[in-house]
Chains A and B, each alone.
Chain A
Amino acid sequence: MWRFVARRLLHALPVLLGTTFLIYTLVFVLPGDPIQGLAGDKPVPPAVLAELHARYHLDDPLWTQYAHYLAGLLTGDLGTTFTGRDVSDLLADRWAVTLQLGLTAWVLELVLGMALGVWAGLRKGKWDDSAVLFGTTLIISVPVFVVGYLAQLVFGVRLGWLPVAGTEGGWPLAFLLPGLVLASFGLAYVARLTRSSLIENLRADYVRTAHSKGLSRRRVVVKHTLRNSLIPVVTFLGLELGGLMAGAIVTEYIFNLPGVGQQLFQSIQLREGPVVVGTTTALVLVFLLANLLVDLLYGLLDPRIRHD
């Protein structure tokens, strides 16, 4: 077991290093002088330029610069805003909202997505199967921000069933609608994945054997088929956990939820480059760590992965 954990951690290390290096090179190194970039068209006094270059190690070779940046990341330093505030401070009270939203969406994906998929798969070819297929295709093809505004307009404003925006309703009430919107794409995907996997497994020999042994349909479906057909679904849901938390930018903005994604959106609008980069890096790290965690858990659950 420990060998498995060690191997996974060793495997994750180059990905973490590579991703941060990629972000670092693309953002800080390629275009022009970053200090001049901050000042815009105004000339920067040479003394100030030299001082800032020294403070941010801008004259060092790329590897040294990256090492400084990485050391900062490890100690939780995501850079500073134009006004000198730490980006990690700015984000500190926002993580709770993002976590709540991400988990709500994840649970909705898991429960609704699987339920829809199993229902459609068991009634393959009937009208409800076609309805689920059509509906999920439609949801996948409409961009999430359009889904968000439509849901807000219909359920929040016109029908008044759920809060329109903000977190005043508290969890879970205020997070239901944004959670559903954030989950919509993944939910549709989970439903289709569950459906096709279930249909494929229902035709397998072991299912026929179970049937001919005289087991009830319920037992064959629940005990034999579902367990096997949920493997790809569980894999997808594992990857989604990080993706949902990192991908909540649009949803948090539309529903005015004060999470990390909303901060990112606002910083993009205000053209605050350093905050955008710091926040994005933080979200990417969350995404990668969540994936690593799920990977480790997955090894605990499925011995085949641990041993191979």
Chain B
Amino acid sequence: MTETTRTLEATSGAAEDTASDTTPPPSRQRASLGKDAWFELRRRPTVWAALITLLLMTAMALTPGAFTSLLTEAGDRCDLADSKLGPSAGHPFGFDLQGCDYLAQVIRGTRPSLLAGLAVTAASLLIAVVLGLLCGFYGGRLDALVSRITDIFFGLPFVLGATVILVAFPDHGLGAMILVLTVLGWTTMTRIMRSQVIALADADYVRAARMLGARPVRLMLRHILPNAVTPVIVVAMLNVGAVISGEATLDFLGVGLQYPQVSWGLQLNAAQAFVLDHPHLLLFPALFLSATVLSFILLGDALRDAFDPRLK
């Protein structure tokens, strides 16, 4: 037993040696692809605008207190007498329904949106990579089973599915929402990853590595994953925006986060009754929300162009 393991190790080591003899080492190749993409990306002003927006939003999500005390006077104090007042000198965004400074409230609303978008996408990405690798590489019964399950989840429209589940658990927080959005959202990326892996598993260089004795895990992680993952990353970037938008829609519908939690979707929900007379209630959270979603979409588009030279 030990002997076979050792021979396997030896052969896979040999595989690595031969691979590095004939082709440039994978690490250098990857770095150059990444460097190439970065060179593409940094020439675009939209990429910089999106990155700066997202950095600002992240900072607001991490330390909302610093921003509220810096940008607003007495941002923590709410006075019902100020309810729905429009923008003024000391309060550029005006006041919300409860008479709280709206800028401070909008800043506090950043965290749940960003957290939901990133956590759901990270979890979906993980599921997609693992399932995609296993199904695409091994095929067979596992693949058939997962594909059927993917079909089922694909048949459930996002908002409707989330509505049904969330209404069944009225007392949910952000964690439960992230779970539900992940359960409904992992399918697209998994399908893409699977088809990528299927295409690559038959590639000549993978066959070569297999013949040289590389084990399945090594084939999957070292040879297939780096080449298969780029389109999935691009979709993931676009997915962050979609999740943020979806989470806000659920909050707006009244099935997402509930008061007294603070989020952009809830602020828009509260604004709907007063849109005609107090448009600032709708405008500012919508502006922050759209800017965040737009930044992720722009980054995703730019990444796709950078990684896929065919579209140039």
Residues of chain B lying within 8 A (CB to CB) of residue A277: 164, 167-168
Assuming A14-B151, A265-B253, is B160 touching A284 (CB within 8 A)?
yes
Contact B152 A19 (CB under 8 A): yes
B154 proximity list for chain A (CB < 8 A) = 15
Closest to A134 in B: B46
For the complex, what is the distance from the CA of A281 to the CA of B164, rounded to whole Å?
A: 8
List residues of chain A with CB within 8 A of the CB of B161. Answer: 23, 284
Q: Restricting to B138-169, which residues have a CB under 8 Å from any CB of A?
A: 148-149, 151-157, 159-161, 163-165, 167-169
Distance of B156 from chain A, by nearest CB (Å): 6
Chain A residue numbers with a CB within 8 Å of B160 are 246-247, 280, 283-284, 287
Shortest Cβ distance from residue B270 to the other chain A in the assembled complex, whole angstroms? 13
- Bound-state Cα–Cα, A157 to B156, Å: 36
For the complex, give the distance between the alpha carbons of A246 and B249 in Å.
15
Candidates B167, B248, B293; contact of A268 at CB < 8 Å? B167
Nearest neighbor of B151 in chain A, beta-carbon distance: A15
A243 and B254 alpha carbons, distance in the complex (Å) = 21
Task: Please name all residues of chain A whose beta carbon is closer than 8 Å to the beta carbon of B253 when the two chains form the complex.
Answer: 249-250, 265, 268
Contact B249 A268 (CB under 8 A): no
B167 touches A276 (CB 8 A): yes
A61 to B164, CA, bound (A): 22
Chain A interface secondary structure, helix, strand, loop or mixed? helix
A146 and B164 contacting across the interface, CB-CB below 8 Å: no
Tell yes or no: A52 within 8 A of B by CB: no
**In the complex, chain A residues whose CB is within 8 Å of the CB of B149:** 18
- By the criterion CB–CB under 8 Å, are A143 and B156 in contact? no
Let me know if B7 is at the binding interface, CB within 8 A.
Answer: no
* CB-nearest residue of chain A to B252: A145
Chain A residue with the shortest CB-CB distance to B294: A141
Assess whether B282 is in contact with A146, with CB atoms less than 8 Å apart.
yes
Q: Is the CB of A22 within 8 A of B152?
A: yes
Is residue A196 contacting chain B, with contact meaning CB distance below 8 A? yes
Whether the Cβ atoms of B157 and A146 lie closer than 8 Å is no
Binds B, one of A25-33, A76-84, A102-110, A229-237: A25-33
Within the assembled complex, what's the spacing in Å between the Cα atoms of A144 and B241?
Answer: 13
Residue A141 contacts which of B153, B159, B293 (CB distance < 8 angstroms)?
B293
Number of A residues with CB within 8 Å of any CB on chain B: 47
Known contacts A138-B294, A153-B276, A246-B160; A27/B165 CB under 8 A: yes
Whether, in the assembled complex, A140 has its beta carbon less than 8 Å from a beta carbon of chain B, the answer is: yes
**Structural contact, B170 and A271, CB atoms closer than 8 A:** yes
A250 and B249 contact, CB distance less than 8 A: yes
Within the complex, which residue of B164, B254, B286, B310 is in contact with A23, where a contact is CB–CB below 8 Å? B164
Q: Tell me if A149 counts as interface (CB < 8 A to partner B).
A: yes
Proximity bits, A268-284, B CB within 8 Å = 1, else 0? 11010100110011011
Out of A152, A249, A291, which one reaches B159, CB within 8 Å? Answer: A249
Query: B311 contacts the other chain (Cβ, under 8 Å)?
Result: yes
A18 to B149, CA, bound (A): 8
Q: Are A268 and B159 in contact (CB under 8 A)?
A: no
Q: Roughly how many angstroms separate A268 CA and B249 CA in the complex, as a whole number?
A: 13
Assess whether B29 is interfacial by the CB under 8 Å rule. no
Interface: A101 (CB within 8 A): no
A137 at the interface (CB under 8 A from B): yes
Separation of A265 and B160 alpha carbons in the complex (Å): 11
B residues less than 8 Å from A92 (CB atoms): none
Q: Are the C-beta atoms of B286 and A280 separated by less than 8 Å? A: no
Q: Mark A34-55, 1 if CB is under 8 A from B, else 0.
A: 0000000000000000000000
Are B164's CB and A280's CB within 8 A?
Answer: yes
Which residues of B56-111 are within 8 A (CB) of A?
none
Nearest-CB residue, chain A, relative to B171: A31
Q: Tell me whether A288 is interfacial, beta carbon within 8 Å.
A: yes
Interface residues of B in 263-312 (CB under 8 A from A): 268, 272, 275-276, 279, 282, 286, 289-290, 293-294, 297-298, 301, 310-311
Instruction: Look across to chain A and name the residue whose beta carbon is closest to the beta carbon of B154.
Output: A15
17 contacts between A and B (CB under 8 A): A15-B152, A15-B154, A18-B151, A22-B156, A26-B164, A137-B297, A137-B298, A143-B293, A145-B268, A146-B289, A149-B272, A149-B275, A249-B159, A264-B163, A268-B254, A268-B255, A273-B168
User: What is the interface of chain A, defined by CB distance below 8 A to chain B?
Assistant: 14-16, 18-19, 22-23, 26-27, 30-31, 137-138, 140-146, 149, 152-153, 157, 196, 200, 243, 246-247, 249-250, 254, 264-265, 268-269, 271, 273, 276-277, 280-281, 283-284, 287-288, 291
13 other A-B residue contacts (CB within 8 Å) besides A153-B276, A277-B164: A19-B155, A137-B301, A141-B241, A143-B248, A146-B282, A250-B249, A254-B272, A268-B163, A268-B167, A268-B253, A268-B254, A276-B167, A288-B155
Question: Hey, which bits of chain B sit against chain A, CB under 8 A?
Answer: 148-149, 151-157, 159-161, 163-165, 167-170, 241, 245, 248-249, 252-255, 268, 272, 275-276, 279, 282, 286, 289-290, 293-294, 297-298, 301, 310-311
The 4 A-B pairs of least Cβ separation, nearest first, read A18-B152, A141-B294, A141-B293, A146-B286
